[in-house]
Structure 1
Amino acid sequence: MFEVEMKGRSFSLNLMHEEQSTFLAKESTIMLWHKRLGNYHHQGIVKMKSKSMAIDLPEFDARIMTCKACQFGKQNRKSFPKTAWRATCKLQLIHTDISGTQRTLSLVGNRYYASFIDDFTRMCWIFFLKFKSEIAGAFWKFKIMVENQSGNHIQILRYDNGKEYTSENFNAFYEEVGIEHQLTATYSPQQNGVCERRNKYILEMTRCMLHGKNLPKKFYAEAAHTAIFLQNRLATKAVKDQTPYEAWYGRKPSLHFLKIFGYLCFTHVPQIKRDKLDKKPLPRVFIGYSNVAKAYKIFLPHNGKIIISRDVHFIEDEEWN
């Protein structure tokens, strides 16, 4: 440090000047121990001293020093504020996302799934895709279905910056139908937290159902579809004193027909497809609920096909599993 005289409203340091004054710089005690303790935070060091949690600690300065090493090693992103705005009617805001690539293909060869969540009711729909480029067709089917059911029109679609959502065809579609699209900031999936949390919920329930009955991973699509079917009929904090199903349809869901995913069952074989001495029912595996009929989705182990049937007898005894 130097003593410099003011000249012309400025301080000009002349290093060639003969008379210079130097001062010894002494490092702060708190900064010294901060470094000795592996860049341990200031409040923690002060607490250890005040509570006598260690011996041979000196008295520390009250002021907090800025450490460059901590800026490089500890800096975190700013927290994402919880949005207070919620949709006030059906389809005012739709959250959507495509799940990551599944290493194992589903029974029909799908590798991805797209979820659509209505912000007002938190009703969720799921579509399975072989390629991410199929999202435009899935969204068109979803749009027609929900607008016919609710009588409202989709106003805002919120999604991440995935190329499948930002293509020229998709942008032209938004403009044509008058949908406002909201994108999250790059590397900020938290801004689409509704979908991120739902994807976590779907995968957790899917894993539980698959491993609960030791089913192979190729049944993940059926398990995920069943997870959405159930979640729409379960309570959620986002909708007060209602299930998403009731908030969307206006009536309470019935749960009497629910069965455990992966349970053994027997389905009736029509007489025309069997001999007089053949077994009337055959053992099958329950893998979900039909969206188009009041019936169950049944897997046929002998040929790997899926059928929709209402004539099902369930064996819910553990000795059969």
Structure 2
Amino acid sequence: MGAVTSKMNNSKLLLWHMRFAHQNIEAMRKMVEREMVKGMDALTVADFEKPFHCLACQRAKQRRKAYKRQQGKRKKECFARLMSDISPVGVWTPGGNFYFQLIQDEASRFKWCYLLKTKGEADENVMTLILQLEKDHVIKMFSSDQGREFINKTLEAFLLEHGIELLTTNAYTPEENCLVEKLNGTLMNKVRAILEAAQLPFCLWGEVLGYVVEVDNMSATKALNGITPFEKIWGTKPVVRDLHVCGSVVFHHIPKQKRRNKLEMRANPGIFLGYAKRKTH
């Protein structure tokens, strides 16, 4: 916890900054000013006037190169265009995952994250998600870079059957797929900040990334003008009052059947790494 504290910090802002996976302070200010979420009443606009500095963010985040603006207009209809990107991390998770895949809806900025053992698992995730979304929405386009994980006959046939256009971009010009490419860097900045702040081993990046994606969907984004991706999709403000800090100490109950006598401890300590997965995540 020492990596994030400073004599200048007020405890309320620091706590919510950490709960929201080291979110940008200006984005958090907008969430409070515009009441974009429920359960964040402990913070006021005045809290943002005090000096604030997060050492974990300073170590974990650095300026990214500028992305060129995409030519043309963005899709405004939710799920009309899905965008995907795959990235290696360089460290294996306990479950044997080495990559992660992001799929983002262009209009709502809502995103899904999948951990991958191999890149070959990616197209199955795309097809499964599309089948779920198609029940209530019309998907018109799917875009990715030109990696072999997406340029294959199985996925091409699936998209053709479902009337979805496959748009590939040049792998050496990420600005063509800039939304999800930039998202990749933004989320990993937050993952590094959490690992640094909580002093967690790098192998837990997968669990931390799942937490980051969860709270990012409930956070402010410039593109949506006062609402979160969660509200854009579900039509209601997210409730955040019960958010916990990723990497904080928790205690889990030991069932009576596993306690040998009345002196045995009733709980064991653990580390909070995220929430149970929802069906759409």
Same fold (TM over 0.5): yes
Kindly provide the amino acid, as one letter, of the partner of residue 178 in structure 1: G
Take 2:171 and 2:274, find their aligned partners in 1: how far apart are those partners?
37
2:84 equivalent among 93, 96, 99 = 96
Question: Could you say if the C-alpha distance between residues 91 and 292 of structure 1 is closer, same or farther in structure 2, counting changes exceeding 3 Å?
Answer: closer
Alignment of 1:1-321 (within 5 A): 80-99=68-87, 101-148=88-135, 151-277=136-262, 278-292=264-278
* Stretch deviating more after TM superposition (260-269 or 137-146): 137-146
Deviation at 1:186, TM superposition (A): 4.6
User: Helix, strand or coil for the counterpart of 1:291?
Assistant: coil
More helix by share: 2
Take 1:214 and 1:80, find their aligned partners in 2: how far apart are those partners?
35
Deviations 1:147-195 (A, max 9, x none): 34xx103210011011110012221122111110111135111100001
Give the TM-score normalised by structure 1.
0.63
Give the TM-score normalised by structure 2.
0.72
Deviations 1:25-48 (A, max 9, x none): xxxxxxxxxxxxxxxxxxxxxxxx
Which structure has the bigger radius of gyration? Answer: 1
User: Helix, strand or coil for the counterpart of 1:289?
Assistant: coil
Kindly provide the amino acid, as one letter, of the partner of residue 197 in structure 1: K
User: Helix, strand or coil for the counterpart of 1:257?
Assistant: coil
> Do the aligned residues in 1 keep the contact of 2:70 with 2:176 (CA within 8 Å)?
no
- Unaligned segments of structure 2, at least 5 residues: 1-66
How many residue pairs get aligned? The number is 212
User: Helix, strand or coil for the counterpart of 1:238?
Assistant: helix
Kindly provide the amino acid, as one letter, of the partner of residue 291 in structure 1: K
Deviations 1:73-126 (A, max 9, x none): xxxxxx944334121211101111111x22211121111111111111110100
What percent identity do the matched residue pairs reach?
27
Kindly provide the amino acid, as one letter, of the partner of residue 110 in structure 1: N
Take 2:210 and 2:111, find their aligned partners in 1: how far apart are those partners?
10
User: Helix, strand or coil for the counterpart of 1:267?
Assistant: strand
User: Helix, strand or coil for the counterpart of 2:227?
Assistant: coil
Q: Could you say which structure has the greater relative contact order, defined with CA pairs below 8 angstroms and 6 or more residues apart? A: 2
Deviation at 1:146, TM superposition (A): 2.8
Take 1:217 and 1:138, find their aligned partners in 2: how far apart are those partners?
25
Take 1:123 and 1:145, find their aligned partners in 2: how far apart are those partners?
15
Superposed CA RMSD in Å reads 1.6
Question: Could you say if the C-alpha distance between residues 194 and 276 of structure 1 is closer, same or farther in structure 2, counting changes exceeding 3 Å?
Answer: same
User: Helix, strand or coil for the counterpart of 2:89?
Assistant: coil
